């Protein structure tokens, strides 16, 4: 009964693990989960207050515009000017989205015809792979491996694939590997995309979560980037707003216009109440973002040190709230099950992010310090000398 596009989706690999987690919970096991990439910290107070005020205004009870409030788009433009020195035209170069996920999916419907190739980073956010499939395109993986610092090797993409590619996903700081990209890499992407006439989609959802003073560059900082691409960003991770569903796409106006054409046919925009809260988030003091970073950094240090003391060869991530850990036997699902069964600790098997994620597991730093310490203690008893 199901359409091919649903039947052909990559298999959901966590069925058995999810079942086991539920069983353990029923048995009364105290589970510590590092599984989901969803901040445990609440949305800052001033953003919630702006939302409450916005909810009182009758004009916000009606359909919003498709592209978003001009005042929201101006706030995004201001943020890019302040953070990166990038100039954006709020009228044509910015569109609001229902969280990034929606526009990451929808952009394929604007630009992908049946058979068109979409290059995507693997392991990666699953929508880079399912979006093309829904639109009838072909997703072609760019492997992220340790030897290349988890950056795609553009030279190894077969020229016939490169020529036939219409769109390309990159995502730095990266989920799930926590890798970061430098300007050199972005320059190479601009050249590659220009030469092969590829639309670059740079997902920068973790742009503001970086440690030890490091500041991730944006793809749009590179000369020529705006001619070939757009950046997807979101308030989800920066301001602990995953449940609010607000994000935006910025950059090339023709690409933005293509996305707008799809969206006018699919959804009716982002609630103005949420957009007004978004303006408060973008335009108020960014002290709350610094506080987030401080919290994640402390958690990162504790988890990484703990894993190292058990004998793991674990890199210290420069950004994102993930730790990407190479597992001893290389089987990420077996390792995840073992950790759950013997320690009551949940992580995500790397293979769930694509075949090149095999051999790794991901820990999300979305637990308080006490719980991280507890998890390390439990793991240490079982894994010492791994
Ligand atoms: C969390 C995340 C997003 C943003 O999701 P929203 O839909 O904006 O909540 C986008 N890309 C990646 C890689 C993510 O991890």
Residues 84 and 35 both lie in one domain: no
Query: Within this chain, do residues 174 and 49 fall inside the same structural domain, yes or no?
Result: yes
Residues of the chain above pLDDT 90, percent: 93
Residue 305 to residues 193, 230, 293, 380, Cα–Cα distance (Å) = 40, 37, 18, 12
pLDDT band at 119 (very low <50, low <70, confident <90, very high): very high
Of 223, 256, 283, which closes a domain? 283
Residue 126 Cβ < 6 Å to ligand 1: no
Compute the distance from residue 101 Cα to the ligand 1 centre, in Å: 6
204 Cβ inside 6 Å of ligand 1: no
pLDDT at 43: 98
Mean pLDDT across 264-293 = 97
242 lines ligand 1 (CB under 6 A): yes
Residues counted in the chain = 386
Identify whether residues 246 and 320 lie together within a single domain.
no
Q: Which domain holds residue 81?
A: 45-283
Query: Is the beta carbon of 208 within 6 A of some atom in ligand 1?
Result: no
**pLDDT tens per residue, range 126-164:** 999 999 999 999 999 999 999 999 999 999 999 999 999
CA–centroid distance, residue 104 to ligand 1 (Å) = 9
Domains in the chain, number: 2
Q: Is the domain of 306 the same as that of 167? A: no
Mean pLDDT score, 309-315: 92
CA distances from 317 to 141, 177, 212, 324 (A): 23, 9, 10, 8
Question: In angstroms, rounded to a whole number, what is the distance separating the alpha carbons of residues 220 and 202?
Answer: 9
| Confidence check: pLDDT of 386 > 90 | no
pLDDT at 16: 80
Residue 385 has pLDDT above 70, yes or no: no
pLDDT class of 329 with cuts at 50, 70, 90: confident
What is the full DSSP assignment across 9-47?
Answer: SPP-TTHHHHHHHHHHHHTT---EE-------SPPPHHH
Question: Average per-residue pLDDT in the chain?
Answer: 96
Q: 199-203 and 322-326: which strand pairing?
A: unpaired
* CA of 247 relative to ligand 1 center, distance in Å: 9
354: left (phi over 0), alpha (psi -120 to 50) or beta: left
Compute the distance between CA of residue 262 and CA of residue 249 in angstroms, rounded to an integer.
14
Please name the residue whose Cα sits nearest to atom 14 of ligand 1.
205
Q: Which residue has the higher pLDDT, 4 or 234?
A: 234
Least trusted range by pLDDT, from 8-22, 56-70, 320-334: 8-22
The answer on pLDDT for 55 being more than 60 is yes
DSSP assignment string, 50-63:
HHHHHHT-GGGGSP
Instruction: Give the pairing of strands 199-203 and 229-234.
Output: parallel
| CATH at residue 366 | 3.90.1150.10
Q: Is 93 in the pocket of ligand 1 (CB under 6 A)?
A: no
Same domain flag for 209 and 292 = no
| Residue 352 near ligand 1, beta carbon < 6 Å | no
pTM above 0.85, yes or no: yes
Q: Convert 23-48 to b/e letters by CB count within 10 Å (16 or more is b).
A: ebeeeeeeebbbbebebeeebbeebe
320 Cβ below 6 A of ligand 1? no
376 and 311 assigned to the same domain? yes
The answer to whether the peptide bond before residue 252 is cis (omega within 30 degrees of 0) is no
Q: Average pLDDT in the 204-223 region? A: 98
Identify the residue whose C-alpha is closest to ligand 1 atom 2: 205
Averaged over 6-17, what is the pLDDT? 81
């Amino acid at each position: 009964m199901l359409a091919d596009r649903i039947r052909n989706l990559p298999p959901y690999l966590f069925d058995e693990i999810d079942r086991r987690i539920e069983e353990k919970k029923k048995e009364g096991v105290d589970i510590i989960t590092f599984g989901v990439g969803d901040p445990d910290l609440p949305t800052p107070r001033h953003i919630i207050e702006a939302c409450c005020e916005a909810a009182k205004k009758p004009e916000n009870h009606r359909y919003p515009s498709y592209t978003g409030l001009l005042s929201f788009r101006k706030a995004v433009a201001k943020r890019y000017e302040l953070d990166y020195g990038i100039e954006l035209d709020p009228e044509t170069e910015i569109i609001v989205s229902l969280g990034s996920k929606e526009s990451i999916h929808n952009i394929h419907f604007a630009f992908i015809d049946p058979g068109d190739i979409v290059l995507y980073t693997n392991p990666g956010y699953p929508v880079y792979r399912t979006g093309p499939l829904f639109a009838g395109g072909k997703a072609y993986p760019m492997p992220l491996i340790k030897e290349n610092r988890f950056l795609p090797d553009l030279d190894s993409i077969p020229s016939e694939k490169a020529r036939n590619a219409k769109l390309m996903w990159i995502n730095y700081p990266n989920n799930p590997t926590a890798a970061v990209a430098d300007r050199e890499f972005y320059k190479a992407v601009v050249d590659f995309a220009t030469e092969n006439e590829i639309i670059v989609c740079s997902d920068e959802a973790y742009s503001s979560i970086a440690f030890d003073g490091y500041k991730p560059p944006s793809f749009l900082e590179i000369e020529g980037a705006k001619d070939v691409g757009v950046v997807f960003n979101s308030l989800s991770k920066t301001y602990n707003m995953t449940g609010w569903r607000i994000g935006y796409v910025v950059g090339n106006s023709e690409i933005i216009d293509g996305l707008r054409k799809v969206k006018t046919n699919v959804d009716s925009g982002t609630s103005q109440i949420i957009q007004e809260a978004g303006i408060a988030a973008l335009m108020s003091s960014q002290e709350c973002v610094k506080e987030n970073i401080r919290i994640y950094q402390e958690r990162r240090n504790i988890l990484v040190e703990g894993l190292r003391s058990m004998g793991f060869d674990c890199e210290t991530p420069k950004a994102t709230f993930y730790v990407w850990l190479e597992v001893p036997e290389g089987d990420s699902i077996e390792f995840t099950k073992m950790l759950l069964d013997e320690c009551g600790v949940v992580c995500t098997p790397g293979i769930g992010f694509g075949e090149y994620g095999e051999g790794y597991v991901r820990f999300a730093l979305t637990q308080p310090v006490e719980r991280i310490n507890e998890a390390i203690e439990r793991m240490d008893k079982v894994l010492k000398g791994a």
